[in-house]
Structure 1
Amino acid sequence: MLKKADSLYQLPSPTEEDDRLAIKLYSEALAETPNSEEVQLFLRGSERLGVLLSVYGKNEAAAKSYRKGIQLAKAFKLPDTLVYSSHLFLGELLFSLSKLDSSIYHLKEAENLQKLIQEKTQPERLFNALGVYFFETGNYSQSISYFSRAESALPSSLGDYGRYARYSFLSNKASALYNLEKYDSAKKIYEDLLTWEINPNQVRINLANTHLEEGNPDQALDVLNQISETSEPLKFSHWNLLAKGYLLKNDLEAAELALDRTRDSLMIKLTRKNDLQRGIYHNLRGQLHEQKKEYQKALNSYQKAIIELHPTFQNSDIFQNPEKSSLGMSSITLFEVLASKAKIAWMLYEKEEDSKWFRLGLSTYLSAFDFANYISFNFDNDEARIFLGDQVLKAYQIAIERIYNIALERDELGLMEQAFVWAEQSKAGALRQSAYFERLKRRSGIPLAKLQEEENLQFLLSKNYQRQYLSNDPEELKKLQEEFVKLQVDLSRLREEFKSFLPDFENADVFSLARYQDQLGRRKASLSLFQTSSKLFVFWVEPDFFDFKALDIKEINFRELENWRKALQTPNLGRKYDAGSFISQFGKTLFDPWLVRMKSRNQLIVVPHAQFNSIPFEVLPIDGEYLIERIAVLYQFSAALVKSEPKKEWFSNAVLGFSPFEQKGFQGLSRLPGSKEEISRKGFTVFTDESADLETFLKEASNYPYIHLATHAKAEPGDINSSFIAFYPGLEEFRLFSQELSYQALDSVEFVFLSACETGAGQLSDSEGLISLARSFALAGADHLITSLWLTENQVAVYLSDAFYKHLQEGETYASALRLAKLDLLNDPKMSQFSHPGYWANYVLIGQPEVVSFERKVKEVIGRIALVLFILAGIVWIIYRSNKKE
């Protein structure tokens, strides 16, 4: 029976009657239990039956058939390689059914098996399926890697099939670039694909959508109007995009006509639940109602969109939201719909003053932000999390502005505590989750062989990037980039495996104001900024006190602020410093309500946002003096990262110091005279010049609690992966790039002094802050870092480091020691030529508030009392001797 079914399956041009007979014969044969000699025929039969059933739309039955083959292979202990295709086809099928968690399991199984099979695999099909999976779950960077691998795996001798497949991979890649907001790159691919004359209407739809996202509805409508007739799957996209274009032009009548056409066709089309275009239609209908101020109708439309876009949620009650997060088709779109629903609920509250709308808006925002957090946790790389954070930030900004307005209207300023929590949740999300993943991984039961495999892949990625950085050969660069993509994919696959060893990965601590206040510690305060389109929110937090203010963005002269920051970077030796009237007033405005409270604080944690990440707050003038003269200042990427720590005893014999360029420079990296002096303190373990190479650093770094690097660094705002710290160039690999640095296991490192120019500078992400080398050290596990925002003067670097370590030796905290070092410089007549803040304000501390323990305080008090008694005893002795002589 199986042989007859196989012969029908293999017919070159089977009819529908042939296929249905083959399905019948396969089903009857496979209902029996095979023996060990027949089982491989049953495996092949299960796979072929699954293919036939899926062709005729019987997807659940097809999935059951694929699973049967996989289960038979396990039951008879046959090699998994025999069911490679079943895993691949089942993964694709489950994806089409929106069962994404099950889909990725089988696709990853196929990817693992593909490495073991030399022949009869379909790498281009598998990589494309994985690319589509990552695309639909919002991990666009990873999807591009897989689409690129799919194109590379495609043989050149496939004729028309190869041409169509390559078209598909390029189109998918362009869609991912579009979602990464790389619109020019996406348009270039689409415009090129139009010349291929394959699916030209689909290409036009994609090109029009790109124009719409750029905010160019006229260009989009021009492209859409070139489409005369489309097949059914495309016409819904076509009409949805027409509606979107008209909405952008505020042509509500034309938008409604386009949406009515979509509605009428969708009513005729009997589709399963979770239809993407139907979800988009309901979302656009909601936007139309919103623009017409029909808010309750908008809520109903958004609720219908949520039902279509969420894999399991089916409740049409607008007062209900999904409780369980689950990845589905277009997860990012689902987040956006939830955020829109929350916004409309609060608009209704402002209109009708019915508290049910306020409660709905709040619960929906909480649901939306929880869902965004869930999406981010399911990403496996930092870049994807950063991009998601920047997208989600827009919703946070709207939510915080709305809750601020409601707080004022209701005279319930306590609502701003929720605004503060959202502001901090929006910051450095990628850093928090990536660092959390790395910490869990190091404590987990992941096999050493797997961790070693990860280390090897990271080494190969670093070596590849080193070669790309140095290469000027276009052919070599192309090969290296293809290899880089493959290594990234392999690393992604491995990290997906790690999650099975990390059951608590998605259960990170929930951030709250009360928890943050507990973490601050006594005599500490924090100043947190959050910028929206109309306000700069400033939050002041102490362990038992919370306050805020909202500054009008229009009243902040950002050009003056930027000019001041740039002027700090180019000081003139001996020239008197003048901050200017705006900066003087801005400093006072920022801190004015809390200056009295500041007097009882000994540390201020500054949590900046947006362009304020580049501002050295400690030099802001307040009533004629710098902020640093009033209080010790340290910085954090987000208040959610703050964890108060007991002040530890400082051991000067536990510092690892590197000075690679004391004697000579190399290829544009100048000599750094005096850099050796920075680290030449008693007890330091020092590597200079030839001994200060990258290999030594990587070997020794995790063995020391303190590290001081007096070297060159380069920040590349345009390409974060190109930023590096330089070591002695004895070998080709002497640059430690930011990505490799991020993956170092530096949990045992308590403090790093980065005395190198621009280690705190980098690409600015609105949600993540500066993507800098300092951030890479934080990812690697270091808790406290002194970093520099701009070029360092050697003489100042030596002076500050010497004074800083002196004060640490005296028992000061990191923040206090850096403050006192700067004040020493300001008060030292010998350093008067460097009193301009441009020479010393570039050094900033990123770290945690340190709390001196009760026992240590008692010892300090006893020590002071003993000192006083000793001095008094000395005075008494002198008086006694004087009297005796007389």
Structure 2
Amino acid sequence: MNRWIFIVLFFLFQSIPDQDKDAVFSKYRQAMDYYESSDPTDFTDSMALAYFKEIIYSKNTQGLKPEIVLDIYEKSGNLSLIKGELKDAVYFYREGLKIREIAALQDSLFFATNLFLGETYYLLSQADSSIYFLENAEKLLSKNSSNTERSRLFNSLGVIYFESGNYIQSINYFNKAKNLSVGDKSFDELDPYYQYALFSFLNNIGSSLLQLKQLDSALSIYREIEKSGLNKDQVNTQIASIFLKKNMPDSSLYYLDKIKSEEYRQSASFQNQLAEIYLIQNDYRKAKSILESFIKATVEKDNFSKDFRLGRSYRLLGKIAFEEGDFQNALGYFQNAIIQIDGLFNQSDVFTNPEDFSLGFATFSLIESLVDKARSFIKLYQENNDPRFLEAGITTFQTAFDMAFYVSNYYDNDEARIFLGDFVLDTFQDAVEILLGQFQKSNDSQYLHKAFQWAERSKSTSLNIGIREKGLKKVSGISQNKLNQERDLQFAISKMQQAILSERNLSKVNELQQSLTDKRLELSRLHQDFYSHPDYMNQKLNSELIDISVVQKELLDSKTIILSFFETRSQLILFALTRKNFELHVIEKTDDLVEDINAFKKNLIDYRLGQKYLAGSKGTSLFKQFFGEIEDQLEKYPHVMIIPHGLLVDLPFEVLEKESGDFLIHDHAITYQYSMQLLGKSEVNQIDKAVTFGFAPFFEHSWSDEHVQLSKLPFSKTEIDILKGDKFFGTKSSKNRLLEVLPSAEYLQLSTHAIPDPQNPDLAFIAFYPGDIENRLYTNEVVNLDLSHTSLVFLSACETNFGYTSRSEGVLSISRAFMLAGCQNIISSLWKAEDKATAYITAAFYKYLESGETYAESLRKAKLEFLSDPQMAQYQHPVFWSHLVLLGDIIEPKSLILSYSYQVLLLILLICFGSIYLWMNFSSKSK
């Protein structure tokens, strides 16, 4: 043993009584010799643990310094963990932590014990305890913590994020762990210990990509690992999983057959994958036999302890029973799956569901098991017509949706929330169809109302949560210092992303990527701190379902109709809501209808110069299919609020024709919204008295680099000139100037270029002068702004409402970023705009707005003026005017507000005159 260890031990054992010091010292020395063996074996580990235990249970431990006692407990826990004696490991670690209560030791000394205890609870499937101790370890990180300690912690936290379904964030943690431990080195450049570390990090990143369905990227990582020759069984298992996700069971089986280790073949991962392959191949007998044997062996071995990995086994058995039509047994299997996955729930009664949600392990598997259970109940109802099964199915669907909402609120990034929303959408679609079928069968309105609530709840969940978060942070006790820290981190992240885009040196790009990961994790930890504020989380998790009667009473007036669409697998559902009525209309989603919708949109976007618009064709056909049943009713409502979904999210409804050439916009002002959850009511600020800013950076300038070409926009000056507020042209129209004026902007007109990025929505931007990277406002910067005071943003730039389309969230566009920043009303563009036509409509819009019209009516009248102007005859095709769409609130017309004021004034006058009359009459009688 190293002589320095003996010197340290000499001083540490100063307080042991002389007669016992030598004996305890001798045991500790022998334990350490075995523990630090250069060739560790089961024998050396057992001997070390035996000596440590002897010291622990000896009365002489009272004489040891606390540092030594903590070290003994920690090492005893480590050895128990290695031997698979998890409960013993927990005991030793927790006893070690008790020393913190009785001894004044440096907090950093308890880092490792918290870390190892968190990892042990993970292996015991106790999610809450695992998360608690790992987060404690994170708080105890010090400047003196080694890279190895930090790396292990970040890898463990990555696993926790992975198991909770936050795969985006898990990759950040795994990359951080990898950067700390091995950097950018390859397997060939590392010694064996670090080769295995690199294997672990890459394997974890590959697993996250697999869950994100980025299958080719995951396969690429495992092909790289495969070359190292390390842990071939694990690699083959993961490659088999990828082919299973690709629905290629034969290829998956090929890689499973390459696994020869009997121990690995008996693992949960192998057995479940093998059973799933046979399930896909419809060999239910083989799949069932494998799963039943595995469950029996596991339960006997573990003495009926819970294991969330067994949840997948029970769920597969449930799927087999479901496919065989044995829905009663399927229910039992799915209930067992829920019990195994949920660490708190233990009710075998299939009519019960978890009520206390927590951010636990295998979140997605738990939601899937609840959904499978709900579908089994519905099948039993359809077989037996027993209303208990119907109500149980609806209740279980609701539990799954509530759990998804709960988990989504704990995710700390937009990408993870969107991924979860897309994941749950199929279930929402099926559940809504079930409810509507029951409504059509029974005419019971409760099913219609519930279907509407679920349909709206499925839309733009992440946007809704993000907007609510911004408001709650201001009023829920989070310190301004913390909020400033969040703002600074978000700003730093945006700057690093921009720097990465402009950097050409690969090594510097890698450095920036590592720094970006660090900042993202720092922001993640700050958000975890926000979650410790009870008021903030209680309000965040307060799920309020849409009350139709409240919407009718508080939001709708006699002139407005809400038309909300919801696309299912086989139908387009239209919910029509007015102040007095709520109706359902079901449109069959035929192949012809889908083709017509796509062709209609394509014909608009793919316009060629000189091409004439063919009136009375698909525009008329689509109008009849969407609104034919309510056409007479629609005529009564000059303002139409449309909430599109699925195929319809980027369709300009104003182009639909009642008759040939009679566009919907001729008689109706149209506003769009993402979801009823986001719908509010607001008033139009008088623009002539409001703080208004306009920007036209490129009215006389162009700019280009190797990636971007920004042409002159000469007519953009026309759009700005009509404004009465501050105007910034050309060289004065910089990004910094915009950021300076934003805090006071009530109206904001941006007449410039915008570049969408469907592959990476965060990197879409609006350009300011001169157009270089420092003068681009990226969407990831926009979302961090506070625009809650801004009445309207007019994005007169190309494709500001264009981008990647999420099935649940809608278009991830630049305009969405402005809504996330807090602005409730936004005018944006669906496709590349023609400068002159857009300038005409924009100028006319502000003219009508100044006259007192609402945003929607001003935009409608501006378009109609444009269509009726002979000088604009060459721009009659809808491509030139239907690209501008209004996204926002229901706005009460100014004239209506005034009429209410006159009514109040008239009432006061009547009361006054009435009082005077009564007084005079009373006075005359008294005389």
Q: TM-score, normalised by structure 1?
A: 0.92
Q: Which amino acid aligns with 1:808?
A: L
Equivalent residue for 1:718?
759
| Counterpart residue number, 1:496 | 528
The 5-angstrom pairing of residues 325-364 of structure 1 reads 325-364=357-396
> Offset of 1:508 from its aligned partner?
4.3
**Alpha-carbon contact 1:660-1:693 (below 8 Å) kept:** yes
1:641 to 678, 685, 692: 678
SS in structure 2 at match of 1:614 = coil
2:116 aligns with 89
Distance 1:731 1:568 in 2: 31
- Change over 3 Å in CA distance of 1:99–1:252 after alignment to 2: closer
Matches within 5 A, 1:196-595: 196-231=228-263, 234-270=266-302, 273-412=305-444, 414-501=446-533, 502-503=536-537, 504-523=539-558, 524-554=560-590, 556-571=592-607, 576-579=612-615, 581-595=617-631
1:603 to 639, 642, 651: 639
Query: What corresponds to 1:7 in structure 2?
Result: 29
SS at match of 2:309: helix
Q: 1:193 aligns with which of 225, 235, 239?
A: 225
Q: Which amino acid aligns with 2:597?
A: L
Residues in 2 aligned to 1:695 and 1:24: alpha-carbon distance in whole angstroms: 69
What is the alpha-carbon distance in structure 2 between the residues aligned to residue 858 and residue 456 of structure 1?
Answer: 46
Q: Identity of counterpart residues, as a percentage?
A: 33
Please list the CA deviations of residues 341-378 of structure 1 after superposition, one character each: whole Å capped at 9, or x if unmatched.
10111111111111111011001000111011111111
- Deviation of residue 478 (structure 1)? 2.8
Q: Is the 8 A contact 1:27 1:49 kept in 2?
A: no
- Conservation of the 8 A alpha-carbon contact between 2:28 and 2:55: no
Q: How many residues align?
A: 861
Name the SS for the 1:725 alignment partner.
strand
* 1:686 positional shift: 1.3
- Indicate which of 127, 133, 140 corresponds to 1:100: 127
| CA deviations over 1:393-412 (Å, ceiling 9, x no partner) | 01111212222333334444
**Secondary structure in structure 1 of the residue aligned to 2:346:** coil
Does structure 1 residue 856 correspond to structure 2 residue 886? no
Q: Tell me how far apart the structure 2 counterparts of residues 459 and 3 of structure 1 sit (CA, whole Å).
A: 55
Question: Does the 8 Å contact 1:652/1:809 carry over to 2?
Answer: no
Give the Å deviation of 1:632. 1.0
Contact 2:694 2:723 in 1 (8 A): no
What amino acid does structure 2 have at the position aligned with 1:194?
A: E
Equivalent residue letter for 1:547: E
Secondary structure of the equivalent of 2:262?
A: coil
Say whether the 8 Å CA contact 2:673–2:679 is kept in structure 1. yes
CA distance in 1, matches of 2:811, 2:831: 13
Q: 2:654 maps to what in 1?
A: 618
Paired letter, 1:842: H
> Is the alpha carbon distance of 1:233 and 1:274 closer, same or farther for their aligned partners in structure 2, counting shifts above 3 Å?
farther
Instruction: Give, in angstroms, the shift of residue 114 of structure 1.
Output: 2.8
Write the mapping of 1:17-28 to structure 2, written as runs, cut at 5 A.
17-28=47-58
How far apart are 1:420 and its partner, in Å?
1.4
Q: CA deviation at 1:119?
A: 3.9
Q: 1:89 to 1:514 in 2, by over 3 A?
A: farther
Unpaired segments ≥5 residues, structure 1: 865-886
- How far apart are residue 82 of structure 1 and its match? 2.7
1:743 maps onto 2:784 in alignment:
yes
Deviations 1:385-436 (A, max 9, x none): 0011110101111212222333334444652221111111111011111221
SS for the counterpart of 2:587 is strand
**Equivalent residue number for residue 664 of structure 2:** 627
**Superimposed CA distance per residue, residues 605-650 of structure 1 (whole angstroms, 9 cap, x where no aligned partner):** 1111122111001111112311111211111111111122244443
* RCO comparison, higher one (Cα < 8 Å, 6+): 1
The answer to which of 176-185 and 271-280 deviates more is 271-280
Secondary structure, counterpart of 1:111 in structure 2: helix
SS at match of 2:828: strand
Aligned to 1:137: 164
Looking at structure 2, the residues matched to 646 and 655 of structure 1 have their Cα atoms a distance apart, in angstroms, of 16
Distance 2:683 2:306 in 1: 52
CA distance in 2, matches of 1:487, 1:457: 7
SS in structure 1 at match of 2:278: helix
CA distance in 2, matches of 1:649, 1:75: 67
Task: Give the partner amino acid of 1:371.
Answer: M
Contact 1:690 1:730 in 2 (8 A): no
Residue identity matched to 2:114: H
Match of 1:174, SS? helix
Give the corresponding residue for 2:726: 685
SS of aligned partner of 2:368: helix
SS at match of 2:766: strand
Q: Give the SS at the match of 1:538.
A: strand
Amino acid at match of 1:543: R
Note the aligned Cα RMSD (angstroms).
Answer: 2.6
After TM superposition, the structure 1 stretch with the greater mean CA deviation from structure 2, 332-341 or 742-751, is 742-751
- In the alignment, is the contact (CA less than 8 A) between 1:516 and 1:639 conserved in 2? no
In 2, Cα distance between the equivalents of 1:561 and 1:849? 27
| Pair 1:860–1:51, CA change in 2 (3 A) | same
In the alignment, is the contact (CA less than 8 A) between 1:571 and 1:839 conserved in 2?
A: no
1:672 to 707, 713, 717: 713
Distance 1:518 1:211 in 2: 53
| Superposed CA offset, 1:215-241 (max 9, x none) | 111211222233344316753322221
* Bigger shift: residues 777-786 or 186-195: 186-195
8 Å Cα contact 1:516-1:642 kept in structure 2? no
Q: 1:80 to 1:235 in 2, by over 3 A?
A: closer
Q: State how far apart, in whole Å, the 1-side matches of 2:151 and 2:265 are.
A: 25
Q: Which secondary structure state, in structure 2, belongs to the residue aligned with residue 604 of structure 1? A: strand
Partner of 1:772: 813
Cα deviation, residue 85, structure 1: 1.6
